[in-house]
Chain A
Amino acid sequence: MDIDVRELIDEEDDDNQEEMTAQKVLQNVERAWLNEKFSPEILPHQTDYVDCLLEQIKGMEGNLAKLSKTDPKVDLHKLELERIKFIITSYLRTRLKKIESFCVSVLEEEATRSEEDAYLSPAEFKFAKEFALNADNHFDTILRHMPQLYNKLDRNKKIIEPNLNSFVFLKCNKHIDSVIIKNTLEGQEEEIVLEDGSQHLMPYNSVAEFVKKGSVQLI
């Protein structure tokens, strides 16, 4: 039985309000993966795209099971699915690592955001809360045995924050008129123009908003 995968993709598109092709979704996830890898802080989650790809993978796996093993395209489809799964898992792992490292600060910031512009997906949020709780319980168990003077852990001692001034490499996806860079060395600010397609090295803080908007890609 021959299955037209294009049909499957088109169906997916109809369900998707933004009418995006699977190819476009894949590119978006690839970009999110690189941004997440290179950004010091956790970025807004891309669960919509990830879930869409996971649906695609599931559909494709179902169809492949029905194809004969000798069909030359089965191998290619399987290989592609493995490649996409690698990107998705690497992306999610990178985010979990950041949640674990910066747990307290991530949760504090998340509390200031509304549900629509939450940075963590519901599942990640649940994980972060449990992780924080477990860490607290663990410290309490140990600190109980410490002399009274040392058996309290205040917020400042627990918190680890990402260094938002850390330097990142980036590529511009479109012309940006003005980016302000704080020069710590000379105690002054510089303003520069980023041209479409140009590549730069600068502190993450200066471009953070553009990374989140998608006009700048970290590389």
Chain B
Amino acid sequence: MMHPAEIEFMAENEIIQIVPTFNHASHVHLICGSYGPFRAGLPLNVPIWVALNLRQKKTCRILAPEWMAVDKLQERLEEEKASKFFTQLPTNFYLEITQMLLTVASEDIPQGNDIKTAVKDLWDLRIAKLRSSVDLFIKEGRVQASLNHLTPMEINSVRPIFPDTLDALMTLHEHINSSDDREDSSQSSVATPSSTSFSLSL
């Protein structure tokens, strides 16, 4: 099981741009990679967790990623509406990144409220799509599904209930099948009368 906070934790490893307000000539050699040099006013790439830490200490300004512009998000939204499948997004963590950046650095990002609404619309649209495909999947009684471009947070929104439901369905079926087998080989002494006529409508 994954907690949403743990997915946010993974999202914090994504790279974004910041503009530091301090100078630090040498690179910072982190285990996850080297970042720097930090020069006041010059943008550089860092992981989000670094950006948030520096921003909270007010030693940098965060530059919103390119995809996080209202018109770009609207384009994505239209594309998502037009497509039958899930479209590929510029990042696997659009919801989390938007949420984190707007919480910590709302002053750095223009049109924050519009961005929030657009991202929420995108999420709602994709979740609605996900729910209807889950419904179809169960009704058709399939055992494999392609889920390309679905993001971790979206997958987590149907977990654990969806995989657990499938597990339970499979277990039920195995029991039904095994009692059918007994019926066929005429060793039905333990099978209850109802189990023969019982079948799941899938």
Q: Is the CB of A26 within 8 A of B31?
A: yes
Docked-complex contact A73 and B146, CB < 8 angstroms: no
Q: From residue B153, how far is it (CB to closest CB) to chain A in Å?
A: 11
A207 to B185 alpha-carbon distance, docked (Å): 34
B144→A181 contact, CB < 8 A: yes
- Give Cα A56–Cα B49 distance, bound, in whole angstroms: 20
CB neighbours of B162 from chain A (8 A) = 167
CB pair B50 A76 closer than 8 Å: yes
- The size bracket of the interface on A is 35 or more
Q: Please, how many angstroms separate the alpha-carbon atoms of A132 and B142 in the complex?
A: 39
Residues of A within 8 A of B67 (CB): none
Contact segment of A99-107, A117-125, A196-204: A196-204
- Write the nearest CB–CB distance from A50 to chain B, whole angstroms: 14
- Return chain B residues, CB-CB under 8 Å to A83: 9, 12, 49
Of the stretches A3-11, A133-141, A147-155, the one at the interface is A3-11
Main secondary structure of the interface of B (DSSP, over half): mixed
Which positions 124-170 of chain A face chain B at CB distance < 8 Å? Answer: 163, 165-169
User: Are A9 and B29 closer than 8 Å at their CB atoms?
Assistant: yes
Interface with B: A41-49, A108-116, A184-192, A208-216, which one?
A184-192
Task: Return B125 CB to nearest CB of chain A, in Å.
Answer: 19
Smallest beta-carbon distance B100→chain A, Å: 15
Contact with B along A78-94 (1 / 0, CB 8 A): 01100110100010000
Q: Select A84's contact among B29, B31, B149, B167, beta carbons within 8 Å.
A: B31
Our count of residue pairs bridging A and B at CB distance below 8 angstroms stands at 106
Q: Hey, which chain A residues are within 8 Å of B143, CB to CB?
A: 181-185, 190, 202-203
Q: Does B32 contact A (CB under 8 A)?
A: yes
Instruction: Give every chain B residue within 8 A of A26 (Cβ-Cβ).
Output: 31-32
Contact status A184-B145, CB under 8 Å: no
With the chains together, A4 CA to B30 CA distance in Å? 11
- Contact of A165 (CB < 8 Å), options: B6, B27, B31, B167: B167
CA distance A79 to B22 in the complex (A): 19
On whether the beta carbons of B28 and A76 are closer than 8 Å, the reply is yes
Question: A87 — nearest CB in chain B belongs to which residue?
Answer: B9
9 closest Cβ contacts across the A-B interface? A167-B163, A5-B29, A199-B147, A201-B145, A185-B141, A73-B28, A202-B144, A6-B29, A167-B166
The 24 listed contacts between A and B (C-beta, < 8 Å) are A37-B1, A72-B22, A73-B24, A75-B57, A79-B49, A79-B53, A83-B49, A84-B31, A90-B6, A167-B163, A181-B143, A184-B143, A184-B177, A185-B141, A185-B143, A185-B202, A186-B141, A190-B143, A192-B144, A199-B146, A199-B148, A199-B149, A201-B145, A219-B152
